[in-house]
Copies of this chain bind each other. A is one copy, B any other.
Amino acid sequence: MTYDKEMPKPPFQHPNADVRMRGFVERVSAEEALGWLDAELERHGLLSDEYVALVHAAGRVLAQDVTSPVNVPNFNRAMMDGYGIRAADIRGATAATPIALEVVGECFPGKPFASAILAGQAIRIMTGAPLPPGVDAVLPVENTIRQGTQVFAACELEHGKNYGNVGEDIRAGEVVLRAGRVLRPQDLGVLSSIGHGTVPIVRKPRVRVVVTGDELLPVGSVPAGSQIVDANGPMLTALVGRDGGVANHPGIVPDDRQAIRAAIEDDVDVILVSGGSSVGQEDYVPTLLAEHGQLAVHGIAMRPAGPLGMGRLGERFVFLLPGNPVACLWGYDLFASRAIRTLGGRSIDWPYRRTIARLTRDLKSPPDRLDYIRVKLTDEEVEPLGRSGASVLSSTTRCDGFVVVPTDSAGYHAGTEVEVFLYD
């Protein structure tokens, strides 16, 4: 008697002898698998730069430090609407004893006043207007009373009051934003103000979504008979977008060695294969990857997504995700999303909001397996969802988020505070 001969041994043999016999000869821990991935990502480094129009750069990752070539503003400017004056001229002014100045002109943003202001003179001025020589403070309009060509100052003013100096916002030569910054809306404003119409951005990881399975119908089909509609394709496409990648999912790939081989050799940075990833009869992908590239990890001590594989094919990172949609989601989130974010210069951390709450009941997990637990959050308590398999995708839409039980944990008792990652 031998173990089922229809089940080929995975080509990857992990040195760790602590094996658990299942369909897989052995399984590595999720932490070991992450260790392999992080080392490969470190070795690979960031993707290359591209220049992106400023208006399309929000939320993108800056590839280089940006130094300002100019002062912002490039001139001394008024910080209030009012009158440009010389502070010495209105010393001692009060509402009861206002001091009169002669209004000699006006000055708007972009429309400077041609000459200097002399003693006893004032200039009507708008916020943002360049200040003419002689002016050393701006008297706010609410502290003035106008009568003909004269303006009465109803208070005195410090020298420099409401006076914006050259370079007040940004100085020429200053580094305004550092490489790695995920650009905020206001960052685009700053970049525009120093003259940038384009910005150096880390290229988006290109991701090919390879959905395999003869039982699958394309998106938009009506499920019928023993055929089901591709759920993983649209889900993975959206996940890749969320993580800053650009996904290509041109259609379902038949369970055929040549078709799958062509798909995984697409000219991209990351290959996501959904289905055909295990050790079953029609699971061509692991073998293909082992033959033409490197199948570094295959079979992980985790649930769901235990049959997950990872490897390299040329420069590509390849993720073999289970076809079961919950396992596909979790496998993507734990490994592939990390790779896509890292290659694109983003945080290694999940984009999920987190909260801490108490478990309503015991959460058991084998002490040698990482578990992904879908949960409901109610009244600041965490309720694990009832048993729902890796094939019940609606459980991930009904739940509020998930809890991770690490490999070396046997779970948590009711009442324990656990970290919840929120799907929202």
Interchain CB contact under 8 A, A223 and B23? no
CB-CB contacts of A142-159 with B at 8 A, as 1s and 0s? 101111000010000000
Knowing A164-B389, A231-B190, the reply to whether A74 touches B223 (Cβ < 8 A) is yes
Known contacts A220-B197, A223-B193; is A164 also within 8 Å of B391 by CB?
yes
User: B219 near A187 (CB under 8 angstroms)?
Assistant: no
Q: Which of A39-47, A85-93, A109-117, A265-273 contacts B (4 or more CB under 8 A)?
A: A109-117
**Which one of A234-242, A310-318, A358-366, A375-383 contacts B?**
A234-242
Verify A232–B189 contact, CB threshold 8 A: yes
A176 proximal to B (CB < 8 A) = yes
From B21, B72, B215, B236, A111 is in contact (CB under 8 Å) with: B215
Copies in the complex: 2
Give A39 Cβ to nearest chain B Cβ, in Å.
28
Is there an interface contact between B238 and A188, defined as CB atoms closer than 8 Å?
yes
Q: Are A225 and B74 in contact (CB under 8 A)?
A: yes
Majority secondary structure, A binding face: loop
Provide the residues of chain B in CB contact with A324, threshold 8 Å. 127-128
Known interface pairs A127-B324, A142-B23, A164-B389. Does A282 touch B108 (Cβ–Cβ under 8 Å)? Answer: yes
Quick check: A169 and B6 within 8 Å, CB to CB?
A: no
Interface-facing stretch out of A200-208, A289-297, A393-401, A409-417: A393-401
Interface residues on A, range: 35 or more
Q: Among residues 214 to 235 in chain A, which have CB atoms less than 8 Å away from a CB atom of chain B?
A: 214-216, 219-235
> Which residues of B lie under 8 Å from residue A393 when comparing CB positions?
169, 186, 189-190, 193
A325 and B110 contact, Cβ closer than 8 Å, known pairs A130-B226, A176-B397, A237-B55: no
Kindly identify which residue among B188, B223, B390, B424 contacts A72, using a CB–CB cutoff of 8 Å. Answer: B223
Q: Is the CB of B58 within 8 A of A186?
A: no
Interface segment, one of A8-16, A75-83, A256-264:
A75-83
Q: Is A403 an interface residue (CB 8 A)?
A: no
User: Contact at B58–A242, with CB atoms within 8 Å?
Assistant: yes
Output the least CB separation between A23 and chain B (Å).
Answer: 5
Q: Which chain B positions have C-beta within 8 A of A176?
A: 394, 397
Given A169-B391, A235-B188: A147 in contact with B195 (beta carbons within 8 A): no
> Which 9 pairs show the lowest CB-CB distances between chains A and B?
A197-B220, A110-B215, A58-B238, A189-B231, A109-B215, A185-B238, A189-B235, A130-B226, A188-B234
6 pairs, A vs B, C-beta closer than 8 Å: A1-B147, A4-B146, A109-B214, A127-B278, A188-B234, A190-B397
